Amino acid sequence: MDPLFDFTGKVVLVTGGSRGLGYEMVKAFAARGADVVIASRKLEACEAVADEVRALGRRALAVGMHAGRWAECDRLIDEAYAAFGRVDVLVNNAGMGPRMPSHEVSEALFDSVVSLNFKGPFRLASQIAHRMAQGEGGSIINISSSGALRPLPQVVPYGSSKAALNAMSRSLAHEYGPKVRVNTVSPGPFRTDIAKAWPDEGLGPLAIPRGRAADPQDIVTTALFLASPASVNVTGALVRCDGGQH
CB atoms within 10 A of CB 153: 9
Q: Hey, what's the torsion of the CAs at 124, 126, 130, 135, to 10 degrees?
A: 50
CA distances from residue 240 to 19, 51, 246 in whole angstroms, order as listed: 22, 32, 10
To the nearest 10°, the Cα dihedral for 192, 197, 199, 204? 0
Which residue out of 23, 81, 158, 176 is catalytically annotated?
158
Exposed e or buried b for every residue in 200-234, given b needs 16+ CB within 10 A?
eebeeebebeeebbbebebbbebbbbbbbeebeee
Angstrom distances, CA of residue 54 to CA of 5, 35, 50, 77:
20, 9, 6, 21
Q: How far apart are CA 156 and CA 117, in angstroms?
A: 12
User: CA 121, CA 127: separation in Å to the nearest integer?
Assistant: 10
How does DSSP classify residue 227?
H
Q: Is 30 exposed, middle or buried (0-12, 13-18, 19+ CB in 10 A)?
A: buried
| Contact of 239 with 213, CB cutoff 8 Å | no
Query: Phi/psi of residue 32, each to 5°?
Result: -105, 20
Our answer to whether residue 158 is catalytic in this structure is yes
Residues carrying an active site annotation: 158
